[in-house]
Amino acid sequence: MKNLDDGSTSADWQTVSTETNFQNDHLEVVTEQTRTPSRRAPQPWTIVRRKRAVTIAALTSDRKLLLIRQERIPVRAAIWEVPAGQIDEKTELDAGAIAAVALRELREETGFELAEGGELLPLGDYFTSPGMTDEHVYLFLARPVRPSATGHAHEESESILDCQAFGAAELRRMIDQSEIRDGNTLGICAHLLARGLLSFDHK
Amino acid sequence: MKNLDDGSTSADWQTVSTETNFQNDHLEVVTEQTRTPSRRAPQPWTIVRRKRAVTIAALTSDRKLLLIRQERIPVRAAIWEVPAGQIDEKTELDAGAIAAVALRELREETGFELAEGGELLPLGDYFTSPGMTDEHVYLFLARPVRPSATGHAHEESESILDCQAFGAAELRRMIDQSEIRDGNTLGICAHLLARGLLSFDHK
């Protein structure tokens, strides 16, 4: 029996039945009957299963954050976001393997790479929308980064229009005005602010 | 033709075809062929459609943030989150109607309400996972809040275990250690920090 972060044990969570509603290469929708630690009567819940993902805050040598501007079909808009990507492996990966995915996505989406002597720090993890999906995102900081010799390598399914680095004052304004408007970028900014790696000085 | 935030127009986004893969009361999965402003050849994308939602940062008179601890079946964990809820109406709502949903969710999930003379401020909006879903969340600040005479009114499908108020130092620690680990709470904290309504002082 595995002890979970919230003090319960994995035996307290029991999946009584699973019905697969839909499945393709990108996601799976299931309706499960589940017993939870606080509710012993099974209740149905519809869950969207998706691959785990990485998101990476890349800081340039002048402490600016790299963002890409990307067309996002589900919301019909092009928005500024930190680079991110999915972890294709379904098995457990060690921290080093997940970090390698983060550096790969950074290079492919922005054309930047960790500078010599730079560091890659794990910042934690979060769930994008835990009432609906198991989507689980691992957060990283890379600093400093520099343009790579090979440049970016966008995947065919991606529509990345631009890449720029933004300072703290500009990031603060973009959040305030909802120009930064996705969970990954807001989430990683909250982590950078909590660690003092980014500061919105109001003095 | 409507002008969109990103400088494109709605005519630049064209849905060529929509195939419904699955639909129930909670979500709808479609595969759409879409032309985007940068790609005129239609490409397929699988999208999870979900109701819009509200999330509310409620500050007590001593400037602490109210969080609820809630069992989240998709991630099999009980986690600390800001109160949130879905907007049932599918039609356009004015700002006042969306604010009313936020206050209703606050009261139902926490048992707190806006104190006399208190204010409810819209903080903006965000998308939880814009590569996968159109889920769109409106963010609000309520301050100060006080316990209501009637207490909370949890919905039958919810498993809310606790409600407590947390100060800035504790929130900072919880984010840093990924005890706060959902998009809504990280996102609204980023907005509070951007506006100087919350401060993680590292001096």
Helical pair A168-176 and A183-194, crossing angle rounded to 10 deg: 130
Q: A31 with A95, same domain?
A: no
| CA pair distance B186, B190, nearest whole angstrom | 6
* Contact list, A177 vs chain B (CB under 8 Å): 124
Contact B74 A132 (CB under 8 A): yes
* Contact list, A13 vs chain B (CB under 8 Å): 76
| Cα distances (Å, whole numbers) of residue B60 to B57, B167, B198 | 10, 10, 13
Does any domain span residue B60? yes
Cα radius of gyration rounded to whole Å, chain A: 19
Q: What is the span of the domain harbouring residue B18?
A: 10-49
| Cα distances (Å, whole numbers) of residue B104 to A165, A176, B97 | 40, 25, 11
Q: A160 with A77, same domain?
A: yes
Does any domain span residue B79? yes
**Cα nearest neighbour of A78 on chain B:** B6
Q: Is B162 on the interface with A (CB under 8 A)?
A: no
Contact A196 B187 (CB under 8 A): no
Q: A94 with A154, same domain?
A: yes
Answer whether residue A184 shows pLDDT above 60: yes
Mutation target vs A (from B127, B158, B159; most A CBs, 10 A cutoff): B127
Length of chain A: 203
- Rounded to a whole number of angstroms, the distance from the CA of A107 to the nearest CA of chain B is 19
Q: Which of B134, B187, B202 shows the shortest C-beta gap to A196?
A: B202
Q: A160 with A84, same domain?
A: yes
Mention every residue, 6+ apart, whose C-beta is less than 8 A from residue A95: A122
Q: Where are the alpha helices (DSSP H) in B55-194?
A: 95-110, 168-176, 183-194
Phi, psi of B187 (to 5 degrees): -65, -45
- Enter the ipTM: 0.94
Does any domain span residue A200? no
Percentage of chain A modeled with pLDDT above 90: 83
Does any domain span residue A91? yes
Does any domain span residue A150? yes
* Contact list, B48 vs chain A (CB under 8 Å): 27, 29, 48, 74, 132-133
Lowest mean pLDDT among A159-168, B44-53, B84-93, B171-180: B84-93
Q: Which of A4, A36, A132 shows the shortest C-beta gap to B159?
A: A36
Q: B16 with B68, same domain?
A: no
Q: Is B31 on the interface with A (CB under 8 A)?
A: yes
| Average pLDDT score over residue span B29-57 | 96
Contact A132 B27 (CB under 8 A): yes
Answer whether residue B3 shows pLDDT above 60: no
Q: B37 with B83, same domain?
A: no
Q: Is B26 on the interface with A (CB under 8 A)?
A: yes
Q: Is B150 on the interface with A (CB under 8 A)?
A: no
Q: Is A75 on the interface with B (CB under 8 A)?
A: yes
Answer whether residue A175 shows pLDDT above 90: yes
Does any domain span residue B15? yes
Phi, psi of A50 (to 5 degrees): -140, 155
Could you read off the pLDDT of A24-62 as tens digits, one per residue? 999 999 999 999 999 989 999 999 999 999 999 999 999
Can you give the pLDDT at residue A95? 86
Which residues is A53 bridged to in the sheet? A86, A137
CATH number of residue B184's parent domain: 3.90.79.10
| Cα distances (Å, whole numbers) of residue A87 to A33, A56, A90, A94, B61 | 27, 13, 8, 12, 43
Q: A174 with A85, same domain?
A: yes
Does any domain span residue A203? no
Does any domain span residue A1? no
Contact A194 B183 (CB under 8 A): no
Q: A38 with A94, same domain?
A: no
Mention every residue, 6+ apart, whose C-beta is less than 8 A from residue B63: B167, B168
How many Cα atoms are found within 13 Å in the side-chain-facing hemisphere of B169?
A: 2
Residue at token pair 């697969």: A20
Can you give the pLDDT at residue A89? 84
Q: A101 with A144, same domain?
A: yes
Q: Which of A4, A46, A76 shows the shortest C-beta gap to B77?
A: A4
| Average pLDDT score over residue span A77-104 | 92
In total, how many domains does chain B have? 2
Q: Which of B37, B46, B125 shows the shortest C-beta gap to A27?
A: B46
Q: A97 with A149, same domain?
A: yes
Q: B43 with B115, same domain?
A: no
Q: B34 with B68, same domain?
A: no
| CA pair distance B78, A39, nearest whole angstrom | 12
- Residues A183-201 as b or e (16 or more Cβ within 10 Å = b): bbbbbbbbbbbbbebbbbe
Show which of residues 92-121 on chain B sit within 8 Å of chain A, judged by CB atoms.
none
The pTM of this model reads: 0.94
